[in-house]
Amino acid sequence: MPDNNESNLAATGSVVMSRRNVLLSGAMLGGVALMCGLGAQPAAANATISGASAVSGPRKLGSLNVSPVGLGCQWLPGPKEGVVTDFYTSTLERGEAIRLIRSAVDSGVTLIDTAEMYGPFVSEDIVGEALQSVRNQVYIETKFGGDIDPDTGKMGDRGMNSRPEHVRRAVEGSLKRLRTDHIDLLYQHRVDPTVPIEDVAGVVRDMMAEGKVLNWGLSEPGIQTIRRAHAELPLAAIQNEYSMIWRGPEAEVLPLCEELGIGFVCWSPLGMGFLSGKMNADTRFGDGATFDLQAGGGTFDFRALVPRYSPENLRANMALYAVVLKWAQRKEAAPSQIALGWLLAQKPWIVPIPGTTKIAHMQQNIGAASVIFTPDELKELNSDIAAVKIAGARLPAEEEHVVGADTPPRK
């Protein structure tokens, strides 16, 4: 998500997280990605346009025609009142967050992503305040699915909760915080392994009939759950992690989306800052961090828990960044623009949603829609990427078994 150019070394500490909180924190990452690191990069802010059809036009997610690049808004309570923090130690004042969102809208971004779980509630409240006066200019997507008390924000013991009565209460809370009478795209944040997806679709259908939800989607579901959900109530989008450093969706999810006519939204399109040049072979995130989902206290850098960014794996994975940097120099673009432009070139229904704490980075990010690869260039770039074997898993072990899960059959 946001950048943190001040230091490559995260504060050290011990990981103080219950298994439930690890699962929740992993799910919280599902709406955003890091857009950061402008050092040691080509000076150009926008890529050279050459040779192929433009990717800058709107992209279709269900009934929505959205900007090719969205904005992820994922914040937790910060170290003091009026300050919020992301998952990577960056902070900003609430007013700055509001200005960032408004600047994105002014710059042509029409898809704003958030979730009740981010905070919890904090990010939705900021998004609602920022967009209140321009609501008719943007599409808001948010997510339900955590076992969060809709009144207090306290986390329950179930981890995920998509019981229909809970979903309805969660969505009513989101509508209130977002200061709107409808949600343009509503996702189930993670599959609830105890609730058939048909039951979830049923309550969403009811809210659609009431005009409170316009489209729905799933985040990190299993393949069979996608098929069953879409058969019950057509899906507008799947939101999964996808980037040059994690190409897992290419095996089954993207082909299924193409088969069924479902859009695809990418969280972490910049690999938590890796693809934008924030890290180097010597970057360390410490041994972990103290973290409190309820209070937002302590310093937390999620990357300390991610195997692919361990010291030995990060050093090996720098080969991929060398590919990105080579292409950035060739196309006279920033590395982040190459990474996002590559995603946009994969399919016309793919929409990345990077986040940031800096307006300049946001503007650079949306400039990725000007990155054009000819068919031959794209083939060459794909070959360069495929030649790098990525070391380490994309998520902590506790989260790995949650993503890609299927729901039980309806009885």
Each residue's pLDDT tens digit, 262-312? 999 999 999 999 999 999 999 998 654 444 444 444 567 889 999 999 999
Which pLDDT band, with edges at 50, 70 and 90, does 19 fall under? very low
Let me know: does 219 contact 234? Beta carbons within 8 Å. Answer: no
Q: What angle do CA 41, 26, 250 make, to 5 degrees?
A: 65
Mean pLDDT, range 191-206, rounded to an integer: 98
- Residue of 88, 118, 309, 321 with catalytic role: 118
Let me know: does 109 contact 355? Beta carbons within 8 Å. Answer: no
For residues 89, 323, 254, 349, the Cα torsion angle rounded to the nearest 10 degrees is 80
Nearest to 35 by CA among 278, 384, 226, 379: 278
Q: Which two tokens stand for residue 397?
A: 């072990």
Which pLDDT band, with edges at 50, 70 and 90, does 227 fall under? very high
Interatomic CA distance for residues 58 and 351, integer angstroms: 10
Q: What are the φ/ψ torsions at residue 265 (nearest 5 degrees)? A: -115, 130
Helix (H, G, I), strand (E, B) or coil at 29: helix
Q: Across all residues in the chain, what is the average pLDDT?
A: 87
| Ramachandran bin of 93, using left for φ above 0, alpha for ψ from -120 to 50, beta for the remaining angles | beta
| E strand residue ranges, 40-87 | 59-61, 64-66, 71-72, 76-77, 83-85
Q: Delineate the domains of the chain, giving CATH numbers in brackets.
A: 19-400 (3.20.20.100)
Concerning whether 118 is annotated as a catalytic residue, the answer is yes
For residue 163, with 0-12 CB atoms within 10 Å meaning exposed, 13-18 middle and 19 or more buried, which class applies? Answer: middle
Sign of CA dihedral 355, 152, 148, 289: positive
Q: Strands 216-219 and 185-188, how do they pair?
A: parallel
Q: What is the pLDDT of residue 39?
A: 35
Helix (H, G, I), strand (E, B) or coil at 102: helix
Interatomic CA distance for residues 85 and 300, integer angstroms: 9
Q: What is the pLDDT of residue 299?
A: 62
Which pLDDT band, with edges at 50, 70 and 90, does 29 fall under? low
More confident residue, 158 or 210: 210
Q: What is the pLDDT of residue 63?
A: 98
Mean pLDDT, range 336-350, rounded to an integer: 98
More confident residue, 300 or 243: 243
Interatomic CA distance for residues 192 and 174, integer angstroms: 19
Nearest to 114 by CA among 76, 168, 150, 159: 76
The DSSP annotation for 209-239 comes to HTTSBS-EEEESB-HHHHHHHHHHS--SEEE
Q: What is the pLDDT of residue 113?
A: 98
pTM for the complete prediction? 0.88
Which pLDDT band, with edges at 50, 70 and 90, does 131 fall under? very high
Q: Per-residue pLDDT for 23 more than 90?
A: no
Q: What angle do CA 319, 39, 6 make, to 5 degrees?
A: 110
Q: What is the pLDDT of residue 37?
A: 36
Q: What angle do CA 111, 201, 238 make, to 5 degrees?
A: 40
